[in-house]
Structure 1
């Protein structure tokens, strides 16, 4: 290796190390329930793929962790955030989805004795997308992905299943909206819902090639029917139902009622996207400029095919 090559690699490692001090923080939602709110932008070396909102519940028998991060290192950092609140170990990890940041930290916690739980359909999708997610993260996180192993959930539940963990009651409901296999977790005794990637707050939701606006709208209405007092979104800060509706539910309605309706009327896509490019009700949300047009494009295509 030449000296120039060595110095280049050393500089790259130094840059990665300099950004390695990002540490997520725990925020109390209510009583013994906490959220860990990550950055609103993309997965980066700087945030170790923790650009999402996670949650945990402290019980007398251990911690219930909602989603485990996108890497081994991310999982370690979630554990460190939990340690600022309690010394109780993570005994259960419940995955709300199949996208990388929801479950690729499973192996870290399983190796420490945690039981990994998800809906059966969620775990199947985790296995299906594992290689693809790891390849994408390797490009984005580089050396900081080291030690990450894909471990889908092993305790598999049917849709609508109810869990009793450490004296807490959790019900898992299939949403299948933002990403195949997505679910939300409702704690009826606490009136708290962990939405997974169904709800985005502070930033605009993303419609991916695998997303379903139709499913998202239906799932949000099911969430609203629960009338939770506290909403822990998949991205952004915990909030009430009214804010979740303004920043996610209303956007699903917009995509269906404006873009989807125009697609069903066989209007020209370019004209529809141009007409609704501004969307002032949502322009204030982070990532609007980057995602709104693509969201409309994919919504149009979805409804056009119906």
Structure 2
């Protein structure tokens, strides 16, 4: 098995930066898929907001070559991204794609389902993610069409074909693949893909480290921390492929996900204890995390949303 030291040597932040528009110009994919441990590949997306230049590939599109078929994790943000990922898979193996998992109900997880659905590939997601996509799919598609322009062609709304509540297990070839809903985290229906025999978790948006995590209106940070402490840590993963950014280890994602949430909540609590209001809460000190990509876009929004949550806790 390729050592984690080699993985981390390859996974330098310079490889995925919001300052690099596209690092794989011959493809609509932001980056070429790389094999991180035997059989497990990921095309690492830009650590930046979705743009025409990165084709909306700002999350990780992963796949597992099991020996009896390929399992894909994330549909991608557009038909053309899913198609491009499939071309990369076909260049690596002649094993067919047997299954697609959607990590959540966001556009960059589900819009590419349009491509996979035309091939008749089963698509699996958590029931909450499916409900989210069903409710907001038209808005999500419209947003992608605005930035992706001609690259949005052929993309249509195609939700998962099957849903689950707690766990969905696949035994295929050399792999046991456990899709797990560990509890409330970043967005409704977030799942992580756990490979117990390889000690690797494809964490999805449970874990961030190279870019600042976004706190949405439906993101409840206290619940995310509880899920992290009680369930995610218990996996004891050696390898972590996060939803965004390069493969790493638990120490790194803990530092920039759990510890960031704890830090921000503490800063907001100090602000509230001092009688501070929402207008001032946006500007609590987050300088220890200012080096992360998307800090400028997200830090003040995150602080405001945490203040609004903690007012009612």
| TM-score, normalised relative to structure 2 | 0.84
1:257 matched to 2:228? The reply is: no
Q: Deviations over 1:151-207 (max 9, x none)?
A: 111122121343334452222124442222222121111111111112122111111
Checking the alignment, whether the CA contact within 8 Å between 1:178 and 1:216 is kept in structure 2 is yes
Equivalent of residue 130 in structure 1, options 132, 137, 142: 137
Checking the alignment, whether the CA contact within 8 Å between 2:130 and 2:159 is kept in structure 1 is yes
Checking the alignment, whether the CA contact within 8 Å between 2:210 and 2:293 is kept in structure 1 is yes
Distance (Å, rounded) in 1 between the aligned partners of 2:171 and 2:266:
39
Structure 1 alignment gaps of length 5 or more: 1-18
Task: Report the number of matched residues.
Answer: 286
Deviation of the 1:296 alpha carbon: 0.7
Which residue of the partner structure matches residue 10 of structure 1? none
Distance (Å, rounded) in 2 between the aligned partners of 1:58 and 1:228:
20
Distance (Å, rounded) in 1 between the aligned partners of 2:215 and 2:185:
9
Which residue of the partner structure matches residue 238 of structure 2? 229
Equivalent of residue 154 in structure 1, options 161, 175, 182: 161
Distance (Å, rounded) in 2 between the aligned partners of 1:37 and 1:30:
15
1:247 matched to 2:256? The reply is: yes
Give SS of 1:55's match.
Answer: strand
Distance (Å, rounded) in 2 between the aligned partners of 1:115 and 1:109:
8
Distance (Å, rounded) in 1 between the aligned partners of 2:26 and 2:305:
35
1:219 matched to 2:219? The reply is: no
Deviation of the 1:105 alpha carbon: 0.9
Which residue of the partner structure matches residue 202 of structure 2? 194
1:115 matched to 2:118? The reply is: no
Which residue of the partner structure matches residue 280 of structure 1? 287
Deviation of the 1:34 alpha carbon: 1.3
Q: Aligned pair in 2 of structure 1 residues 166, 94: CA closer, same or farther (>3 Å)?
A: farther
Q: Aligned pair in 2 of structure 1 residues 301, 63: CA closer, same or farther (>3 Å)?
A: same
1:208 matched to 2:231? The reply is: no
Report matched runs for 1:58-77 at 5 Å: 58-77=65-84
Distance (Å, rounded) in 2 between the aligned partners of 1:126 and 1:273:
30
Bigger CA radius of gyration: 1
